[in-house]
């Protein structure tokens, strides 16, 4: 589980991301599509160019959902309950992709925050994204 220190690391950094949700969301999605091309198959009608209107609009939705989850770090599963059903039963996303996406977001954070993205901050986010991936994937167990 996340410690109090983990939560403060996340709460210190995340507002800078959530304030530019479309920008950072698009950056993360673009990296996911490039680094893990199999993830493109879930978005058959997408324009995959950097900062395409679809990538920005969808990136904003994803980051907004993470912002919501960041306000419920003690109950990530509850916060992502509806999204878990959507991704498991309707979209049938391979749950391995949730960890891949988490890895990409960590890289976006490292790229954005440089020195501020200390090993402790990284560890907090890695832990949080494990919880998020578990929560989103729980519809499969
Ligand atoms: C839709 C969040 C990971 C595939 C959505 C929506 C949200 C969301 C908020 C919009 C739901 C709505 O319109 O009601 C997240 C979060 C993720 C995540 C928080 C991980 C941290 C993934 C991954 C994939 C994926 C890894 C596939 C590789 C999709 C698809 C849609 C969707 C295909 C529907 C897109 C559309 O046609 O509008 N997701 N998602 N998601 N997500 Fe995710």
Q: What is the DSSP string of 79-102?
A: HTHHHHHIIIIIS---THHHHHHH
In this model, does residue 139 exceed pLDDT 90? no
Per-residue pLDDT at 138: 86
ipTM: 0.98
Per-residue pLDDT at 128: 97
Ligand 1, atom 36: nearest CA belongs to which residue?
Answer: 43
Q: Which of 8, 2, 12 is nearest to 113 (CA)?
A: 12
Distance separating alpha carbons of residues 110 and 37, to the nearest angstrom = 22
Cα separation values, 81 from 70, 127, 131, Å: 14, 18, 12
Give the mutation target among 34, 91, 127 for probing the ligand 1 site: most ligand atoms within 8 A of CB.
91
pLDDT band at 25; cut points 50, 70, 90: very high
In this model, does residue 37 exceed pLDDT 90? yes
In this model, does residue 140 exceed pLDDT 80? no
Q: Which of 125, 90, 103, 135 is nearest to 13 (CA)?
A: 125
């Amino acid at each position: 589980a996340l410690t109090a220190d983990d939560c403060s690391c996340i709460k210190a950094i995340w507002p800078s991301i959530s304030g530019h949700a479309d920008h950072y969301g698009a950056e993360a999605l673009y990296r996911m599509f490039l680094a893990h091309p199999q993830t493109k198959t879930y978005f058959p009608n997408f324009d995959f160019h950097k900062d395409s209107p679809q990538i920005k609009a969808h990136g904003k939705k994803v980051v907004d959902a993470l912002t919501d989850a960041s306000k419920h770090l003690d109950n990530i599963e509850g916060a992502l309950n509806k999204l878990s059903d959507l991704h498991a039963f309707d979209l049938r996303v391979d749950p391995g992709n949730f960890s891949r996406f988490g890895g990409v977001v960590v890289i976006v954070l490292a790229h954005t925050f440089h020195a501020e993205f200390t090993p402790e901050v990284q560890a907090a986010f890695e832990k949080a994204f494990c919880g998020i991936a578990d929560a989103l994937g729980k519809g499969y167990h």
